[in-house]
Structure 1
Amino acid sequence: MAISTSGGGQENWSSRAAFIFAAVGSAVGLGNIWRFPYIAGENGGGAFVLIYIFFVFLIGWPVLVSELAIGRYAGKSPIGSVEKIAVDSGKSANWKWLGFLGTFAGGLALLSYYSVIAGWVMAYVIKALTGTFVGITAPEAQAELANHYANGPMMAFWHLAFICLTIFIVGKGIKGGLEKAVLYLMPMLFVILLVLVGYSMAVGNFQQGLAYLFAPDFSKITAGVVIAALGQALFSLSVAVGTMFAYGAYLSKDISITKSAGIIAAADTGVALLAGLAIFPLVFAFGLQPNSGPGLLFETLPVAFAQMPGGILFGTLFFVLLGVAAITSSISLLEPAVSYFGEKLGMGRWVAAIIAGGIAFTIGLLSVFSFNDWAEFYPLAFLGLSELAGSPATFYQINDFFVSNIVLPIGGLFVALFAGWAVSSETIRKELDLPEGGLFAFWRVLIRFICPAALVVILVSGLS
């Protein structure tokens, strides 16, 4: 298919399928397959899942629709798009700082430590493939991860390898890089995930895993569970990091934003649930704990794979799945900065990708060494903050807390306020190609009232 261009010569997605795959790839990442299962495990399973799904569509969908509409209207980088639609709506050009927040404080900052975790995944693909986990016990798996943490140069190598792969894909452009990557990788991700669910059905305690995910125990619902579900929905859909502004800018006018956003939200949720179905039956079958926290995938699952028939093959497939999910998200985190550098500074795409990726890599080194040489260095100790969210306040923890608890909620809140109150309602309605009333009225109520209220709750909770 030939790729189309906008009036300014900017590439567009060559088809609706290409855009859907790219946007789903952005949303589907480690947040679904690494983060969702352990967050669900820590918050009681089914009750959390039900609330999470509710928030994906009540909060995530309207914010996603808003970012895509603003991006397509202006056809620029996230910063340029926000500025243009603000000025055209008779509002201050200073709204462009919302674009800066998502592009740099959100996207690049998140990528800087996201790629460190993705580097662990790449290393674990090799470990699984070479039989490192054969016969491994729980203490040995914990020691394996501890040894990985302790080797700073090796962690830096895998961090660099992942960033370079991201730069390579983004540098090749929309059709040559982003589209090709997602059109191959996203079907691969779904196939591997379905194979792993089938394997989990065969060798795991599938009935218990199914009940854990889909039989809610409402007695487990607390304020903390509700807030955790809201935070996971926001994190999972890749809103407030500039990505959907950028992807919307490459979207042709004949594609329905509201329908596409619904497909993206549904696919993203579906992957998270499938990941739970692949993981929890194995956890229960082999006597592991579903609330094992962030180490669930790196410490407990290698033990499960070690005891399974075909454990080397399926363990390798699992970590390949994680790697595919990580790369489809990382390219979307780099793209907003690349589009801005090209638009405002006149950089060629390759130069912009190398510079933006280099910034993320350099910042990420702080996170790399937070696990070894600087593990006991707490940069905010002079403010009396040696812990954040119950964990030692290393560079990694500070970055994660800053992005997850501050930038994402604030970014989502201001996207909702901007789209709901600052941007001309008629401009958004025309961009969405919707009549007055009906779905447009529903979106407007959500974006003006429900989303801001919910995001204020998560922001206050995250800072308390």
Structure 2
Amino acid sequence: YITGEYGGGAFVLVYLACILAVGVPVMMAEIAFGRRGRGSPIEAIANLAREAGARPLWKVFGWIAMLAGFMILSFYVVVAGWSFSYLWKMASGALSGHSVAELGAIFEAGNANPWALGGWATLVTVVTMLIVGRGVQEGVEKSVRWMMPGMVIMLLIMIGYALTSGNFSAGFHFLFDFDVTRLSSEGVLAALGHAFFTLSLASGAILTYGSYLPSGTSIARTTFTVAIADTLVALMAGLAIFPIIF
């Protein structure tokens, strides 16, 4: 949506530049903080401040990161609830044979029903709690091990569908042709913000990830691996969506 709003290929190029120039260094710093502090954002920053002889008030930044993570989670359980809702509607045939306007009305009707919206969000919350409650290795790692490949396979299927059923050429050119006249200062700022958003920076997530990173692991290699994988998935999503739109 943001790529479509702010100029297509021009936005993508600035976004990639922001990932490289800002996102990667910030991610390296967060991973380093987490690995050195060995704890949650609050504990890690408090440990580092104590080690450096700095004031304990530095841990306030850890609390801010935790608050940001909580706010992001509160947003995402609703969006993930939409996905569960759409999966049910798709399986029951409720999405087939409708016009764009009718599909928009289905979405709006779902959002207008607080019980349905809250119910799906609650389901996502419970599933998340069950996974996270099992711990990093037994819960998060085991689920991500099949969820992430599954997502990539679904994206590849959607790209194949876009290639055969959509205007793939128009979507490809929109996504990768650099037209500077379509880029605004607001678009540049959005690209910077999106770089932070897609890499989960400044929310405590990467800092926590770093706290579990073994001492001998290369921070640079880990950072570039995550940044490249994240960016490839984003571009794949664009190749799946824009040809269908065109």
Judge same fold: TM > 0.5, yes or no. yes
1:57-85 Cα offsets, whole Å, 9 max, x none, are: 11111111111111111211111101111
- SS at the partner of 1:134? coil
Contact 2:6–2:184 (Cα < 8 Å) also in 1: no
- SS at the partner of 2:31? helix
CA distance in structure 1 between the partners assigned to 2:220 and 2:53 by the alignment: 25
Name the structure 2 match of 1:101. Answer: 64
Question: Given residue 54 of structure 2, which amino acid in structure 1 is its aligned partner?
Answer: K
Unaligned runs of 5+ in 1: 1-37, 285-464
Tell whether 2:206 aligns with 1:244: yes
CA distance in structure 2 between the partners assigned to 1:191 and 1:174 by the alignment: 24
CA distance in structure 2 between the partners assigned to 1:139 and 1:183 by the alignment: 38
1:87 is aligned, of 47, 50, 53, to: 50
Q: How many residues align?
A: 246
Alpha-carbon shift at residue 134 of structure 1 (Å): 1.2
Name the structure 1 match of 2:178. Answer: 216
1:66 is aligned, of 23, 29, 33, to: 29
CA distance in structure 1 between the partners assigned to 2:43 and 2:2 by the alignment: 35
Question: Given residue 125 of structure 1, which amino acid in structure 2 is its aligned partner?
Answer: L
1:422-461 pair list within 5 angstroms: none
1:412-443 Cα offsets, whole Å, 9 max, x none, are: xxxxxxxxxxxxxxxxxxxxxxxxxxxxxxxx
Question: Given residue 262 of structure 1, which amino acid in structure 2 is its aligned partner?
Answer: F
Tell whether 2:224 aligns with 1:262: yes
2:107 is aligned, of 145, 154, 170, to: 145
> Which protein, 1 or 2, shows the higher relative CO under an 8 Å CA cutoff with sep ≥ 6?
2
Tell whether 2:42 aligns with 1:76: no
Name the structure 2 match of 1:272. Answer: 234
Name the structure 1 match of 2:92. Answer: 130
CA distance in structure 2 between the partners assigned to 1:89 and 1:210 by the alignment: 50
- SS at the partner of 2:62? helix
1:36-93 Cα offsets, whole Å, 9 max, x none, are: xx00000110000000010011111111111111111121111110111122123212
CA distance in structure 2 between the partners assigned to 1:185 and 1:256 by the alignment: 25
CA distance in structure 2 between the partners assigned to 1:187 and 1:255 by the alignment: 23
Alpha-carbon shift at residue 143 of structure 1 (Å): 1.2
1:169-228 Cα offsets, whole Å, 9 max, x none, are: 000011110110111111111111111111111111111111000011111122111111
Alpha-carbon shift at residue 144 of structure 1 (Å): 0.6
Alpha-carbon shift at residue 254 of structure 1 (Å): 1.6
1:119-157 Cα offsets, whole Å, 9 max, x none, are: 111101111122112110122112111210111111110
- SS at the partner of 1:239? coil
Question: Given residue 223 of structure 2, which amino acid in structure 1 is its aligned partner?
Answer: A
Tell whether 2:149 aligns with 1:183: no
CA distance in structure 2 between the partners assigned to 1:198 and 1:142 by the alignment: 25
Computed over aligned residues only, the root mean square deviation of the Cα atoms, in angstroms, reads 0.9
1:188-207 pair list within 5 angstroms: 188-207=150-169
CA distance in structure 1 between the partners assigned to 2:54 and 2:20 by the alignment: 29
Tell whether 2:235 aligns with 1:235: no
Structure 1 residue ranges, 4+ long, deviating more than 3 angstroms after superposition: none
CA distance in structure 1 between the partners assigned to 2:53 and 2:121 by the alignment: 44
Higher relative helix content: 2
**Alignment TM-score, normalising by the size of structure 1:** 0.52
CA distance in structure 2 between the partners assigned to 1:77 and 1:113 by the alignment: 21
CA distance in structure 1 between the partners assigned to 2:131 and 2:94 by the alignment: 30
- SS at the partner of 1:136? coil
- SS at the partner of 1:192? helix
Contact 2:33–2:45 (Cα < 8 Å) also in 1: yes
Question: Given residue 57 of structure 2, which amino acid in structure 1 is its aligned partner?
Answer: N
Question: Given residue 277 of structure 1, which amino acid in structure 2 is its aligned partner?
Answer: L
CA distance in structure 2 between the partners assigned to 1:211 and 1:180 by the alignment: 38
Unaligned runs of 5+ in 2: none
Tell whether 2:14 aligns with 1:56: no
Question: Given residue 117 of structure 2, which amino acid in structure 1 is its aligned partner?
Answer: M
**Alignment TM-score, normalising by the size of structure 2:** 0.98
Alpha-carbon shift at residue 272 of structure 1 (Å): 0.7
- SS at the partner of 2:89? helix
1:335-414 pair list within 5 angstroms: none
Tell whether 2:238 aligns with 1:282: no
CA distance in structure 1 between the partners assigned to 2:157 and 2:38 by the alignment: 39
2:81 is aligned, of 116, 119, 141, to: 119
CA distance in structure 2 between the partners assigned to 1:51 and 1:248 by the alignment: 27
